[in-house]
Amino acid sequence: MKVLHLIAGGDSGGAKTHLFSLLDKLKAKATVRVACLIDGVFYQELQDQNVDNVLFLQRNRFDLSVVSGIADMINQEEFDVFHVHGARANFVAEFVMKRINIPTVTTVHSDYLLDFDEPVKKFFFTNLNKHALSKIPYHIAVSDNFKDMLIERGFRANGIYTVYNGMDFSSVPKEILSKEAYAKKHGFIYDKNKVYVGIAARFDAVKGVDVFIKAAGEVLKRHKNVEFLIAGDGVDREKLEALAEKTGFSNAIRFLGFERDMYAFWNIIDINCLTSMCESFPYSMLEGAALGKPMVASRVGGIPSFIIDDETGYLFTSGDYKEMAEKLSVMLDNPALLLEMGKNIQERAITLFSSEKFAQDHMQIYESIIKDYHDEKRYDFAVSGYYGFRNNGDDALLMALTEQIKKENKDARLVVLSNRPKETAQIYRIDAIHRLRALKIRRAFKQTRGLIFGGGSLLQDETSSKSLWYYLSIIKLAKKCGMKVMQFANGFGPINKPSNQRITVETINQCVNVITTRDKASLRRMQELNIRQEMTLTADPAMLLCGCSDKELSKLFSRLEIPEEPYMTIAVREWKKNTENFSQEVAKALCAFAEQHDLNVLLIPMQHPHDVTISKEIQKLVGKRAYVIKENIGIKETIGVIGRSKVNVAMRLHSMIYSVAQGVKTVALRYDPKIDGFMDYVGLHYICNVEDLEHKTLLEKIEQAYSEPMSKTYLELREKAKQNVTKALDMIRE
């Protein structure tokens, strides 16, 4: 593979370090050349890197005379990938792209809206870079946070890749200036009984050095065996020195100036700090980690991907110096913890953030974009279902579906029809279009191999005929556009109107290639309507999802002010056929069971805000033992909450699926035939009808479920659920 990198050539910060680290290992895996546009710091240092390079000298930033030379070189020497870095290179690449037939990718090293400070430059250069970025089809973000930023700003999710910076840890100097010698060099005496807390940053507002100084002042009120060292310089130095004086502890806050020997600095400190307001994935984390320095850092950019609370250091809210001081105090009060975190961060850095992995990740990205660029189809799958309505159950289907497809084929390209396409793209990091934009859907379908229809019970007229007609029209359009169509783990029916039955059967028989269904009742209904295609009984893909960790769950309970005591869960919804005193009957049963077994009651609204009102109503009737999860929490958190429950009472289908998949005892409130279908499939019969619900019957079912062993059927269903994706991938390969 031949890769051409284009960079301005005057870079001296993170972009320079990033590219030098990448080139070090990449040149052994591919034929690499670096082109520069100015004879600056980067270009001069590049001459010592043993990397093929060339200079296309620009007279000024707007000099486009270099475009033809770069394009001719790419075409004549048959490069495979054109990889650019930075605003100046992006601007040039926009014009080069028109003359070449290979993919162009740019690395987004920073928030491009913040790259220029001076007002005139900010106006012109930021907008030029923004425009160029929008024209470049592929983007590499240096953190997931930056990937989310690009998606939020309208960049195509399927064209964005994430690669965290890597470092060659073998290049760490074997001999580093001793702590005593370093201190002497800077005019103070090293005290082995003290803890040294350090930060290396330029004195720019975005780096938050003032936060570091304020936190130092708070810490020094309680701890006398600590000093704070600041390596850096800049126009704000006098202001920051005055701030240090104001704390009253300026003798313990040392300004060391610009530091060239960074490893000597990392060596003397015991705790490494980052206080940035905005960051990508700074190398200072890796350099400090190479010497085993745990961190206290602001929760911005890619930092949370490296720093794990209680393991490698602590995160704090950007700008909150008091929270930072608290996190530092925890470490200062626990010397053993400090040592353990140092070992952990060093191991994490070397294992997951090496320059070798860094280069290998880039090679995989190059292979992916080459394949995508030259593919006549833009997408492998379009996905249609009840998505973008903030319904936890349907969102779980989409999460499970996308996770499993990516697991089987990491390069799979998906586009989802959603009621909230921007939100869906951000959450699932895949392309999304509005489910009612017919022209956009048609254009997408023309560029797509297969339609994944479902999951969920979409083909039914119990709620309305309109939704049935909509979904049938999507299936017909997909077939008309030459796509393969799969009913993916669908529930089916009931379809009550004869005319609806007829059009449904015709559409499926004429347009659908593969059918999997999630329960026996749905399979039976399709067979009764004489649907001819072969049907496979599988299971709901949400069976494969896992919940959040216990640590994350504890944080959730703390945030929601819910005690971490044993509890039962319940998920209810408003329904037109609910018995008149539904809430009262449910509350009576919950009260009696919770009192008997000393449990709290957690009410989980599965669709916000629709389920909140009835949940609060039942909470009020149950009393002090009951809590409503008022936030619209994520799918993993919902599964985590239900997974720790002693027994789950579920009216929402996916509340049942979550609990069964986690091996939690489950009682169903029947409002739709799909509830019976699922419970029958998993071999559970603790079911009450919402139309004539009585608290005594519900209490009896809860007691039965609680006292009897949990069926192990869910283990078999998890295996069956995996078949859905296998069949989908096989369909588009045929």
Using the 8-state DSSP alphabet, how is residue 167 labeled? B
The overall average pLDDT reported for the chain is 94
Do 183 and 52 lie in one domain? The reply is: no
Mean predicted confidence (pLDDT) in 681-707: 94
For residue 278, the model assigns a pLDDT of 84
For residue 509, the model assigns a pLDDT of 96
Residue 370 covered by a domain = no
Which 3-state string (H, E, C) describes 664-691?
A: CCEEEEECCHHHHHHHHHCCCCCEEEHH
CA distance 645 to 349: 37
Q: How confident is the model at residue 18 (pLDDT cuts 50, 70, 90)?
A: confident
CA distance 64 to 531: 62
CA distance 660 to 655: 9
Does 309 score more than 80 pLDDT? yes
Do 526 and 560 lie in one domain? The reply is: no
Instruction: Supply the range of the domain harboring residue 114.
Output: 2-167
Q: How confident is the model at residue 283 (pLDDT cuts 50, 70, 90)?
A: confident
Count of domains observed in the chain: 4
Do 137 and 186 lie in one domain? The reply is: no
Of 537, 571, 590, which residue constitutes the final position of a domain?
537
Residue 543 covered by a domain = no
Does 714 score more than 80 pLDDT? no
Residue keyed to tokens 């497809």: 405
Do 594 and 695 lie in one domain? The reply is: yes
Of 489, 508, 537, which residue constitutes the final position of a domain?
537
For residue 15, the model assigns a pLDDT of 80
CA distance 473 to 350: 53
CA distance 497 to 507: 16
CA distance 577 to 585: 15
CA distance 319 to 210: 9
The CATH number covering residue 77 comes to 3.40.50.2000
Do 182 and 323 lie in one domain? The reply is: yes
CA distance 291 to 262: 11
Q: How confident is the model at residue 605 (pLDDT cuts 50, 70, 90)?
A: very high
Residue 578 covered by a domain = yes
For residue 203, the model assigns a pLDDT of 93
Mean predicted confidence (pLDDT) in 25-33: 95
- The pTM score is 0.81
Do 30 and 65 lie in one domain? The reply is: yes
The CATH number covering residue 425 comes to 3.40.50.11930
Residue 281 covered by a domain = yes
Do 623 and 697 lie in one domain? The reply is: yes
Does 11 score more than 80 pLDDT? no
pLDDT tens digit sequence for 330-351: 999 999 999 999 999 999 999 9
Closest CA relative to residue 292, chosen from 350, 216, 331: 350
The residue among 438 and 683 whose pLDDT is bigger is 438
Dihedral over alpha carbons 309, 312, 317, 319 (to 10 degrees): 160
Q: Mind giving me the DSSP string for 62-125?
A: T--THHHHHHHHHHHHT-SEEEEESHHHHHHHHHHGGG--S-EEEEE-S-GGGS--SHHHHHHH
Mean predicted confidence (pLDDT) in 495-508: 96
Edge-to-edge order in the sheet of strand 484-492? 431-434, 414-418, 379-384, 448-459, 484-492, 514-517, 535-537
Do 143 and 195 lie in one domain? The reply is: no
Do 236 and 333 lie in one domain? The reply is: yes
Residues with Cβ within 8 Å of residue 656, at least 6 apart in sequence: 648, 650, 666, 668, 675, 678, 679
Do 289 and 321 lie in one domain? The reply is: yes
Instruction: Identify the sign of the CA torsion 34, 39, 44, 45.
Output: negative
Q: How confident is the model at residue 709 (pLDDT cuts 50, 70, 90)?
A: confident
Does 66 score more than 90 pLDDT? yes
Do 493 and 516 lie in one domain? The reply is: yes
For residue 354, the model assigns a pLDDT of 92
Of 133, 167, 201, which residue constitutes the final position of a domain?
167
pLDDT tens digit sequence for 386-430: 999 988 888 889 999 999 999 999 899 999 999 999 999 999 999
Window from 241-245, 488-492, 652-656, 678-682 with minimum mean pLDDT: 678-682
Q: How far apart are the first and last CA of the chain?
A: 29
